[in-house]
Amino acid sequence: MHIAILQIYCGASGQFGSYNCQEVGLAKSFAALGHRCTVAYPDTMAEAAEERCVRLCPGAQALFLPAKGLGVHAFYNLDFLCRLGVDQVLLLADNHLFAPAVHRFCRAHGIACANYIGALKSDSHNAAKRFVMDFLARRNLRCFQQSVTFAKTPAIAAMLSAHGVKAQLAPVGLDLSIIPPVPGTKAQVRARLGLAQSGLLLLYVGRLDPFKRPLDMAEVLSACPADTRLVCIGKGELSAALARRFEELGLADRVTMIAALPNEQVQPYYHAADAFLNFNDHEIFGMSILEALYAGCPVIARHAPGPDLIVQPGKTGFLVTDTAEYAPALQRLAPAMGPAAHQSVLERFQWQATAQTMLAKWEEAHHG
């Protein structure tokens, strides 16, 4: 079977090659199970009619298609699905505007189309934009009601169910094939990175945009002992504001800010850190959370659909409800959390299990 995973988001976060991409890990697992897989990406910078193909592994490829963008919503020609002989589409639909058109195209050309959902509502801080997007997303719900749908978290599965959509849970996995080994003890890794050996080391990896709530980092660090240090890897709208806040609170000499690093160069920081912090209370899943856990780094995160599924409180980290709870949680970290965190990814978040779940559901739908 030839499976096409369609990405119809064209925003700044989650760009191909910048982190552990969900669709790439899933495509590799479909290929390992004997299927062909194409991941389609919108390329809003491409010249007219120019396509670009990148081999991911034997049996899987990424196809970059000329696209038009409206905010974070991408639109592109779907004729390639027929040209490649695709049998099954997996649409990363969420609340994206192009989703109904994809379903119409697939119906017209006899191609099965399923959905993989991580969010239903807009996370925009603009109330008017959020209202319009949530209204338009109702069209997507009609598509989800009429086709096979998978949910990334129990929270999204429950939300879909409330809207009359039967969704099967299919958790996101981690592509372990692109994560390099990091040799040495924590002290040796810190030494190679030029980081202090004493005190707690906290880590944040992600966009510095409002929906991620990165300014909370400064408040958390200010509530920690004076020998606690922070590494922040990421950039965004609030980069300058965050740097100013560190200065205002007299914390600048305890912070290392790194705008961007290739994913493989981020991995040593997970091994060097004592805890990984996540502040997004709308986190859909959290690939950096999975990467941290796999490296044996406990996670402290706000309650949200992704962290609520991933983090096992008291075992692999802690879940909190507000900024004031981070510093006390850091004092409760235990050495056993590191190995437990690593093991939890191996046992609960492997792409091959998710791929098998999807294939079984499609087989059932085909014969049903």
* Same domain, yes or no: 24 and 165: yes
Binned at pLDDT 50, 70 and 90, residue 123 comes out as low
Which whole number is the average pLDDT over 154-180? 94
d(CA 264, CA 261): 8
pLDDT in tens, 250-280: 999 999 999 999 999 999 999 999 999 999 9
Half-sphere exposure for 114 (CA within 13 Å, toward CB): 27
214 plus 334 within the same structural domain: yes
Same-domain check for residues 158 and 125? yes
pLDDT at position 159 = 92
What DSSP character marks residue 211? G
Let me know whether 232 and 150 are in one domain.
no
Range of the domain at 228: 176-348
Query: In terms of domains, do 45 and 163 share one?
Result: yes
Based on the domain organization, do 154 and 39 belong to the same domain?
yes
Residues 34, 164 within the same domain: yes
* Same domain for 233 and 148: no
Q: Would you say residue 351 has pLDDT above 70? A: yes
Q: What's the pLDDT at 366?
A: 82
Name the amino acid, one letter, at 5: I
- Determine the distance from the C-alpha atom of residue 19 to the mean position of all C-alpha atoms in its chain, rounded to a whole number: 9
Q: Tell me what the pLDDT averaged over the chain comes to.
A: 93
Per-residue pLDDT tens over the stretch 217-237 = 999 999 999 999 999 999 999
Q: Are the CB atoms for 252 and 181 separated by under 8 Å?
A: no
Judged by DSSP in three states, 344 sits in: helix
DSSP letter for 198, please: S
Interval 172-184: pLDDT, tens: 999 999 999 999 9
- Output the pLDDT for position 23: 95
CA distance 304 to 309: 9
Are both 145 and 205 inside the same structural domain? no
Read off the CATH number of the domain in which 200 is found.
Answer: 3.40.50.2000
Indicate the pTM of the whole model. Answer: 0.89
Residues 142 and 208 in one domain: no
Same domain, yes or no, for 201 and 330? yes
What is the spatial distance between Cα 169 and Cα 357, in angstroms, rounded to a whole number?
Answer: 9
Q: Is pLDDT of 16 > 80?
A: no
Q: How many domains does the chain have?
A: 2
Please state, in angstroms and rounded to a whole number, the distance separating the CA atoms of residues 36 and 30: 7
Task: Examine the domain organization and report whether 187 and 323 are in the same domain.
Answer: yes
**pLDDT greater than 80 at residue 97:** yes
261: three-class secondary structure by DSSP:
coil
Kindly list the strands in the beta sheet with 299-302, ordered across the sheet, starting from the edge strand earlier in the chain: 255-258, 229-233, 201-205, 275-278, 299-302, 317-320
